[in-house]
Amino acid sequence: LTANAALRRFDESSPSFMATIAGDGTFRIDDVPPGEYVLTVRLDDRGGGAAVRRRVSVPDDGSSEMVDLGLVE
């Protein structure tokens, strides 16, 4: 079983960002511009697995701090 995460802007004007989820369930997507996004986590990268979607806001405060999404269920 594989797991992937994708991040896409609401207006879809920018490229999406992809990450492979580690065995412990963590993932990281670096260098995401500020804005509103939809995070999609899929448990099977062939499209047949369950997908969870969540709204994510990356702040425009000039910070390079990590945004912790907490538990995505």
- Angle at CA 45, nearest 5°, toward 42 and 47? 80
Report pLDDT digits (tens) over 47-61: 566 788 888 888 888
Q: What is the tens place of the pLDDT at every residue in 26-37?
A: 888 888 888 888
Tell me the C-alpha distance between 9 and 11, whole Å: 5
| 37 three-state secondary structure | strand
Tell me, yes or no, if the pTM score tops 0.95.
Answer: no
